[in-house]
């Protein structure tokens, strides 16, 4: 018998959401990959270049940095 366990971070990548820029349902993994690639290579023709929704998804996935006082 085989059991699989997915981490919450990995499970979140599979979940879909509605992409406003592309006007369709996308998995989170595709959004993150396309957003990072478009901004890293400054692909201005991409719908993902400087997308506010993609930026928020990336920040949420990466987590917030909490500074100690």
pLDDT at 1: 54
pLDDT at 6: 55
pLDDT in tens, 27-68: 999 999 999 999 999 999 999 999 999 999 999 888 855 556
Domain boundaries along the sequence of the chain: 29-62
How far is residue 6 from each of residues 10, 13, 19, 55, 69, measured CA to CA in Å?
6, 11, 24, 24, 34
pLDDT at 47: 95
Residue 4 has pLDDT above 90, yes or no: no
The pTM assigned to this predicted structure is: 0.73
Contact between 46 and 38 under an 8 Å Cβ cutoff? The reply is yes
């Amino acid at each position: 018998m085989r059991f699989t366990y997915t981490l919450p971070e990995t499970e979140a990548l599979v979940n879909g959401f509605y992409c406003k820029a592309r006007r369709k349902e996308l998995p989170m993994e595709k959004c993150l990959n396309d957003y990072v690639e478009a901004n890293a290579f400054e692909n201005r023709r991409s719908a993902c270049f400087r997308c506010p929704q993609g930026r928020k998804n990336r920040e949420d996935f990466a987590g917030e940095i909490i500074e100690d006082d």
